[in-house]
Homo-oligomer: A and B are copies of this chain.
Amino acid sequence: MGPGRQALWCEGRLMDNKNAHWRADLMAGAVVAVLLIPQSLAYAMLAGLPPQVGLYASLLPLLAYAALGSSPVLGLGPVAVLALMIAQALGSLPAGVAPEAGALVLAAEVGAVLGLAALLRLDALASLLSVPALRGFENGATLMIAAGQLPVLLGSAAAGFTLPDLLLSARHGGFNPASAAWGGAAIALLLLSRRAGSRLLARLAPLLLLVAAMLVSAFTPAAQGVAQVGALPSLALPLGLPPLDAALWLRLLPSAALVALMAFVSSLAVSESLAQRRGEKLLPAAELRGLAAANVVASLTGGMPVAGSFSRSILLHEAGSHTRWSLVFVAGFMFLAMLLLAGPLAHLPKPVLAATIVVAVLGGFTLGHYREAWRYARAEGLMMVAVTATVLLWSIAAALALGVVGSIALLIQRTARPHVARIGRVPGTQHFRNVERFAVECRPEVVGLRIDESLVFTNARGLSDVVLAHVREHRRSVGEPQRVLMLMAPVNHIDVSGLTALQELRGALAAESLRLEFSEVKGPVLDRLKAIAWLEHYDVSLYLSHHEGIQAGEHALRPSLADHDAPGQL
């Protein structure tokens, strides 16, 4: 709490406001806890972990985020997509390692990766996942999660992390009518509660269903063979270091990096969009710190990797959360629930939990994004479909890799040639415009070009080609040039690849007896060029304005004037 905030305590009206905030945060905390109780149990099951792990991950990690994070509406805790990634990561553990132990190591590593990213100020890396890649990925994960819960709903032993595996194992998986009845009824009730038109009912429904199912199941004969959650070992928060097994840490590190990327990107996507809607400023670096701390705390308190949930964040916002105290209240309610649920939880039928998962995740699935992307940019739409298919048919890791590499490949494919315009002077002015769009004057001895983009490795290779084509066009339509004067004002950055391309361009122009010259180079770009004395070394003239650069040639042709009005050559 900063000093400014403390000063406000003295003033009555703001004090009221403050009280109103507390009340709103308390209410929002209660509303979200009602959703989080069933979700935490269900997502732990989805991750292949005992249900109490989900509860543990919904307690102290929330306090860690509240202390270090920046969003007042990030619904931190177990999330479905991460749960699927955790399940895949833990699916290949060596015999003898309990999944819970693996989850602790994974959470510690996710925390470490996010902490390292925070230290190195790598928050911009959230951009690695483009919107189509992220949406394709989330849709694929949603479908895979729903498909993976079908066997639980139907009492089948089928299991698998891909659709083919699931289908193959389904042939011998069996079927339990009682399970299917539980699952079907639960899904029907959840869908009906959404249709009832009451938002309160829709929000309470998962928790009510949970309690009702536990009661019914506890007081009816358990002999129908419906899988139940079973007795929990003890609901005391297990404090301690995650297992310090170097081989295990090394084995889980690649998965942890992917989980960390996904945790950060998905949390940031929802918290940034809510911050804009609320007119607040989000600090990506603080988000990284908050998520890192939450995951480290999860690894020390028997939890699993956590992130911000889309549905719970929206709910926090809609329920009126004002500060991160709401997360503290969520944790408090979760603690109460844990005490009350400890006994009855044993009777909860698993198909009911599976129904909660299916209804929760399918609400986030939408086909519209594919159609929109396809109509707007075919290649991006195709990539989105490919990423979704890769989740379903291969693996989460492959899908994420495809999304990152595919986005970059499309960008490179599209920006391989830098945008360069040939420009001439608007008659009677010192303004220069594209010769293809304006009636402008060009002087034969100088080709005027405007470089419309930063010169970086994605477009540097195409530079010489584009410039030489303009030179040929100038030669054809205007006359024989002696110089190529490039207006560099729109260039915000030149990386080493761009610099190399400029060197090669200078060589190619020299082969045609043409000089390369720059005008209006931006300050930061010029500073770097000066640091290695590039202009001197490659004998490239520099003019403060394009107009001066064009005039310079005039002076060169009429040396008597040169002393009178020297060009701004640096």
Contacts and interface: CB of A to CB of B under 8 A. Distances in A.
Contacts of A127: 412, 416, 457-461
A337 interface: no
A409 interface: yes
Interface in A504-530: 504-505, 507-508, 511-512, 528
B375 A124 contact: no
B528 A412 contact: no
A511 B275 CA distance: 11
A431 interface: yes
A499 interface: yes
A276 interface: yes
Contacts of A532: 372, 375-376
Contacts of A278: 511
Contact of A416 (B124, B505, B508, B512): B124
A272 B122 contact: no
Nearest to A411: B456
Contacts of A511: 276-279
Contacts of A504: 273, 276
A274 B452 CA distance: 26
B125 A409 contact: yes
A390 interface: no
A130 B276 contact: no
A19 interface: no
Interface in A435-469: 452-454, 456-461, 464, 468
Interface in A108-149: 122, 124-132
Most buried by B among A277, A376, A495: A495
Contact of A373 (B408, B431, B458, B496): B496
Nearest to A528: B376
A460 B373 CA distance: 16
A277 B412 contact: no
Nearest to A128: B412
A243 interface: no
B277 A497 contact: no
B277 A508 contact: yes
A496 B273 contact: no
Nearest to A522: B419
Contact of A279 (B272, B452, B512): B512
Interface string A361-401: 00000000000110111001000000000000000000000
A468 B281 CA distance: 10
B495 A457 contact: no
A interface, over-half SS: helix
A124 B413 contact: yes
A138 to B, nearest CB: 14
B413 A122 contact: yes
A414 interface: yes
A410 interface: yes
A131 B531 contact: no
A407 B457 contact: yes
Nearest to A383: B496
Contacts of A414: 493, 495
Given A125-B409, A504-B276, A497 B377 contact: no
Contacts of A130: 457, 495-497
A431 B276 CA distance: 32
A434 to B, nearest CB: 10
A228 interface: no
A508 B458 CA distance: 31
Nearest to A499: B376
A569 interface: no
A453 B492 contact: yes
16 contacts: A128-B408, A130-B497, A132-B497, A273-B504, A277-B508, A279-B508, A279-B511, A376-B496, A376-B499, A380-B495, A410-B495, A411-B458, A414-B493, A414-B495, A415-B456, A452-B492
Cβ-closest 10 pairs across A and B: A130-B457, A124-B416, A276-B508, A131-B497, A131-B500, A130-B497, A380-B496, A124-B413, A132-B496, A127-B412
Interface of A: 122, 124-132, 272-273, 276-279, 372-373, 375-377, 380, 407-416, 419, 431, 452-454, 456-461, 464, 468, 490, 492-493, 495-497, 499-500, 504-505, 507-508, 511-512, 528, 531-532, 534
